[in-house]
């Protein structure tokens, strides 16, 4: 009897040892390309889908073949037209599950955005999981600012997000803090999140000190204490700050450049390598294709990140 009991104890102890020594799934790495553009869908296009803006977006995405796409200030009818374009060129892996939209102003039958409403959109070359939608603290304007995120369906620890923060200084701190806390929560639960958008503040703004990693400490961007890298902060054009993302005649940014407000962030401890570039507007729109398609540049970024196993 004692022998049987001893054998049972030995088996239990061996099982405990084997369980304690079971390998923990290792994190893998993945390289993603991110494409972002604020197209000024109403301000520059009045909701048009026939003046060249859909072709401008579609040809750039088709030519660069990014993994994730973020579009700010896109009218709902433009969102639908871009879905059609991307389906036709075969960009998404799943033609029925690759796009998400979040309105900032609903359809109202007015001339604004041709009555269809305006918002922000994200697209993914990969099929997407359940949409995650957040409403930012209200700034009193006609637009309700949002944060829109979605995971990759077969790798749910990877999340892609887009946002468009208010330009009203009185409410920027509250909105930026809200967005950062959502990203912090994703990070704490083991996710790898990448966010692109028009933040309406520049890299050296004190409101982003709690975003930028402390290793970003240059004459152009200092006093940082956050956990994130902006994917253009290594650019030699303006170290710590990067390249302009807006077009304009007045140098209101850093290093003699116009403003930089379109940003792509990822957690510093998830990044293996990263880079980004803003692309001068090479497309024309308008009834006679005679105007720049936006006052913002296209931002194209690359990030190699670690992903939970």
- pLDDT for res 9: 37
Which CATH number, 3.40.50.12780, 3.60.15.10, 2.60.40.60, 3.60.10.10, labels domain 29-307? 3.60.10.10
- pLDDT for res 14: 39
- pLDDT for res 287: 84
Who's near 57: CB < 8 A, 6+ residues apart?
Answer: 37, 39, 71, 82, 85
User: Considering the entire predicted model, what is its pTM?
Assistant: 0.91
- pLDDT for res 25: 53
Q: Which residues of the chain have pLDDT under 50?
A: 1-24
- Delimit the domains of the chain by residue range: 29-307
Contact (CB, 8 A) for 30 and 295 = no
- Name 198's bridge partners: 164, 262
CA neighbours within 13 Å on the CB side: how many for 216? 28
DSSP per residue, 7-43? HHHHHHHHHHHHHHTSPPPPPEEEEEEEEEEE--TTT
What would the two tokens of residue 149 be? 């995120």
CA quadruple 174, 179, 184, 189: dihedral sign: positive
Distance of alpha carbon 119 from alpha carbon 145, whole angstroms: 9
């Amino acid at each position: 009897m004692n022998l049987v009991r001893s054998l049972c104890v030995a088996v239990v102890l061996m099982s405990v040892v084997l369980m304690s020594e079971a390998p923990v799934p290792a994190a893998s790495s993945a390289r993603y390309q991110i494409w972002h553009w604020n197209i000024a869908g109403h301000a520059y296009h009045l909701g048009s889908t026939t003046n060249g803006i859909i072709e401008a977006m579609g040809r750039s995405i088709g030519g660069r073949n990014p993994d994730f796409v973020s579009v700010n200030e896109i009218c709902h009818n433009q969102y639908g037209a871009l879905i059609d374009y991307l389906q036709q060129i075969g960009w998404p892996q799943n033609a029925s599950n690759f796009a998400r939209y979040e309105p900032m102003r609903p359809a109202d039958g007015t001339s604004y955005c041709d009555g269809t409403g305006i918002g922000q959109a994200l697209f993914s070359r990969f099929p997407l999981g359940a949409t995650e939608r957040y409403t930012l603290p209200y700034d009193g304007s006609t637009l309700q600012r949002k944060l829109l995120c979605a995971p990759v369906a077969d790798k749910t620890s990877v999340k892609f997000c887009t946002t468009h923060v208010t330009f009203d200084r009185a409410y920027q701190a509250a909105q930026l803090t809200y967005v950062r806390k959502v990203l912090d929560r994703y990070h704490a639960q083991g996710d790898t999140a990448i966010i692109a958008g028009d933040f309406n503040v520049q890299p050296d703004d004190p409101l982003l000190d709690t975003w930028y990693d402390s290793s970003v400490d240059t004459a152009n961007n200092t006093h940082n204490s956050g956990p994130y890298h902006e994917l253009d902060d290594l650019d030699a054009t303006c170290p710590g700050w990067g390249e302009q993302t807006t077009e304009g005649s007045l140098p209101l940014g850093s290093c003699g450049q116009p403003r930089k407000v379109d940003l792509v962030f990822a957690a510093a401890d998830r990044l293996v390598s990263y880079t980004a570039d803003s692309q001068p507007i090479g497309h024309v729109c308008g009834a006679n294709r005679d105007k720049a398609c936006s006052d913002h540049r296209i931002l194209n970024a690359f990030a190699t990140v670690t992903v939970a196993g």
